[in-house]
């Protein structure tokens, strides 16, 4: 039913969904390279199973990475997932959790180490129970990859431990300033970006230049993490988490806690499940806070685009670009949307699939960012306190796209001559194409090529004339047969008032088909003679029925 609704309301998205499910092939299939992906080892197959169990979305893109990089990123993800599981486990006391987080990177050098003290309801508990398998596979990585993973694990563990200590304060974990907010996002996501860049280089998939882009890698992680934090506002409030900086929502003394921002939204109508900003002081403030948080997240767009433009490997580009385009699409969905404060807002599955199919090179990613930037600008209300800052930021995104991928080149590709530069570029392309065609086919001059083309066009037009005539004849015959049969039916039922012979013949034939005793054979003569005999029997039964009706 969901797919039927999508096909009716958003046919292009439904088409993209079918294309993705049926025709899209992965860039790399990790099972076809068992030696590099570790699929030939039972222990590594268990690690791939842990990856599927902990994150289906990340598992799909990780499995398409090139060569051994898929295995390396799988182990990197599982190590950080295990670390995050320890940090999220509320059944562990701080005096147990903090030392474990600080020393977790050391456990990677202890073969056979497991941790079975997690709460019974912790969803990724089994990963820690069998963590010795991850450690064993980690030990098989080259020294450069091990150093990167260990370093990121140590820094992230230290950051998590520091925030647990802050959370044990009387006020709980609260981000006071934007700097605190950025630092938290750096620990949980920015470090992941730095680690991924290092692993791209250590596996020789990308150039050493990528490993030096620590700032850009951090921006990539912050862009994703801030998008998720804004989207998950309602869920975090229900579970008592507070990540939005007080510097954003605490001004004006309207709200005393992050969860109170919900007072600024009301239901559009009772039971509708849709919300709008209330026409009150709280409503205006809630709208301003959401705009400010989204603006802060969008500030990382340019740096993310800079990073993507540096990548050279296709599988790495897809791996990095897919979450980024999902994030910009999500931010556009969240913009000026009061539902954020009451429920989890997500983009449609069809939109997500379209983004996956299109985000395959820097130009297409730039077009996606530009599209959603313009959509946000359409929604931007003139009375937004951040109106000027929004216009500047969206203008910078437009300038970035124009500088790297000029619109007049895109216009030429689409055969639009609205711009002088576009016309010049297109004329040059056509002249170049014409010269190549002359050389390829051995023509001495443009006149020879034009004569050949004219002959082909005339031949094609002549063939199309015969096709057209044939179709018209078939259409005319079909109309005559349809009108004749319809007239027959009308006349028969008007005069006779009973089932007509043609319909009766078909009914008798299908009745005989049901009771006939068939034998299994591939001989066409058997089936032709069988069906002919059944038709003759059905015809006799119809004639007998007609005689009884008219003469008895």
Average pLDDT over residues 504-533: 81
CA distance linking residue 365 with residue 404, whole number of Å: 12
Catalytic residue among 104, 223, 275, 319: 319
- The pLDDT, as a whole number, for residue 435 is 72
Q: Would you list the domain boundaries of the chain? A: 27-142, 454-498, 501-551
pLDDT band at 441 (very low <50, low <70, confident <90, very high): low
Neighbours of 15 (CB within 10 A): 15
Neighbours of 108 (CB within 10 A): 21
- Tell the residue number behind the tokens 């609260």, with chain if given: 174
pLDDT band at 552 (very low <50, low <70, confident <90, very high): low
* pLDDT one-digit tens code per residue, 93-102: 888 899 999 9
pLDDT at 418 over 60: no
pLDDT at 416 over 60: no
289 Cβ neighbours under 8 A, 6+ residues apart: 244, 248, 249, 261
Per the annotation, the verdict on 468 as an active-site residue is no
Q: What percent of the chain has pLDDT over 70?
A: 90
* DSSP codes joined into one string, 440-475: HHT-SSHHHHHHHHHHHHHHHHHHHHHHHHHHHHHH
Average pLDDT over residues 202-207: 94
- The pLDDT, as a whole number, for residue 384 is 94
- The pLDDT, as a whole number, for residue 464 is 82
- The pLDDT, as a whole number, for residue 1 is 61
- The pLDDT, as a whole number, for residue 485 is 82
| Higher-scoring residue by pLDDT: 427, 401 | 401
pLDDT at 280 over 80: yes
- The pLDDT, as a whole number, for residue 354 is 92
Per the annotation, the verdict on 335 as an active-site residue is no
CA distance linking residue 87 with residue 80, whole number of Å: 10
Average pLDDT over residues 297-304: 97
Per the annotation, the verdict on 181 as an active-site residue is no
- The pLDDT, as a whole number, for residue 412 is 46
- The pLDDT, as a whole number, for residue 174 is 75
pLDDT band at 212 (very low <50, low <70, confident <90, very high): very high
- Which pTM does this prediction carry? 0.74
* pLDDT one-digit tens code per residue, 50-108: 999 988 678 888 999 999 999 999 999 999 999 999 988 888 888 889 999 999 999 99
Cα-flanking dihedrals φ and ψ of residue 125, to 5°? -60, -40
Q: What percent of the chain has pLDDT over 90?
A: 54
* pLDDT one-digit tens code per residue, 177-193: 999 999 999 999 999 99
Catalytic residue among 207, 241, 263, 363: 241
Tokens in use for 374?
A: 């313009």
pLDDT at 138 over 80: yes
SS3 annotation, 181-214: HHHHHHHHHHHHHHHHHHHHHHCCCCCHHHHCCH
Average pLDDT over residues 391-412: 85
Q: Which of 205-209, 324-328, 541-545 has the lowest mean pLDDT?
A: 541-545
Most confident of 32-41, 218-227, 426-435: 218-227
- The pLDDT, as a whole number, for residue 110 is 94
261 Cβ neighbours under 8 A, 6+ residues apart: 233, 249, 255, 285, 286, 289, 341
Average pLDDT over residues 9-14: 79
266 Cβ neighbours under 8 A, 6+ residues apart: 275, 276, 277, 278, 283
Nearest Cα to Cα of residue 268 among 342, 345, 375: 342
Catalytic residue among 131, 184, 372, 425: 184
């Amino acid at each position: 039913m969901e797919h039927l609704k999508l096909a009716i309301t958003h046919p292009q998205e439904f088409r993209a969904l079918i294309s993705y499910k049926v025709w899209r092939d992965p860039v790399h299939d990790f099972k076809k390279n068992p030696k590099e992906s570790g699929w030939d080892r039972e222990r590594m197959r268990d690690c791939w199973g842990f990856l599927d169990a902990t994150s289906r979305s990340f598992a799909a893109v990780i499995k398409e990475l090139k060569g051994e990089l898929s295995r390396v990123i799988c182990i990197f993800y599982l190590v950080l997932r295990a670390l995050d599981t320890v940090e999220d486990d509320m059944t562990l006391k701080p005096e147990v959790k903090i030392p474990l987080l600080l020393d977790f990177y050391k456990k990677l050098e202890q073969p056979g180490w497991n941790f079975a003290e997690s709460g019974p309801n912790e969803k990724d508990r089994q990963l820690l129970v069998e963590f010795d398998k991850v450690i064993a596979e980690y030990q098989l990585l080259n020294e450069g990859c091990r150093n990167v993973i260990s370093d990121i694990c140590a820094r992230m563990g230290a950051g998590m431990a520091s925030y647990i200590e802050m959370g044990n304060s009387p006020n709980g974990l609260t981000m006071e300033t934007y700097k605190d907010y950025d630092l938290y996002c750096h620990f949980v996501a920015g470090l992941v970006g730095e680690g991924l860049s290092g692993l791209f280089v250590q596996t020789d998939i990308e150039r050493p230049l990528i490993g030096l882009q620590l700032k850009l890698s951090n921006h990539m992680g912050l862009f994703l993490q801030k998008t998720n934090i804004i989207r998950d506002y309602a869920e975090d409030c229900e579970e008592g988490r507070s990540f939005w900086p007080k510097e954003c929502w605490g001004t004006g003394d309207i709200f005393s806690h992050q969860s109170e921002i919900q007072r600024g939204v009301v239901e559009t109508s009772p039971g509708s499940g849709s919300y709008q900003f209330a026409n009150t002081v709280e409503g205006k403030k809630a709208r301003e806070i959401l705009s400010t948080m989204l603006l802060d997240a969008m500030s990382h767009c340019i740096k993310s685009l800079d990073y993507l433009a540096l990548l050279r490997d296709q599988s790495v580009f897809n791996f990095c670009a897919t979450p980024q385009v999902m994030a910009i699409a999500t931010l556009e969905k969240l913009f000026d949307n009061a539902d954020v404060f009451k429920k989890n807002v997500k983009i449609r599955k069809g939109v997500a699939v379209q983004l996956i199919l299109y985000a395959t090179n820097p130009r297409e990613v730039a077009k996606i960012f530009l599209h959603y930037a313009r959509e946000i600008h359409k929604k931007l209300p003139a009375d937004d306190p951040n109106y000027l800052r929004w216009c500047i930021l969206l203008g910078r995104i437009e300038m970035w796209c124009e500088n790297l991928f000029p619109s007049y080149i895109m216009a030429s590709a689409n055969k639009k001559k609205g711009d002088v530069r576009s016309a010049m570029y297109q004329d040059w392309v056509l002249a170049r194409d014409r010269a190549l065609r002359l050389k390829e086919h051995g023509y001495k001059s443009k006149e020879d090529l034009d004569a050949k083309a004219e002959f082909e066009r005339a031949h094609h037009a002549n063939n199309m004339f015969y096709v057209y005539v044939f179709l018209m004849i078939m259409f005319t015959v079909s109309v005559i047969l349809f009108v004749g049969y319809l007239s027959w039916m009308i006349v028969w039922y008007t005069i006779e008032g009973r089932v007509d012979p043609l319909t009766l013949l078909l009914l008798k034939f299908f009745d005989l088909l049901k009771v006939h005793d068939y034998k299994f054979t591939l001989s066409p003569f058997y089936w032709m003679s069988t069906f002919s005999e059944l038709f003759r029997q059905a015809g006799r039964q119809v004639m007998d029925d007609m005689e009884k009706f008219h003469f008895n």
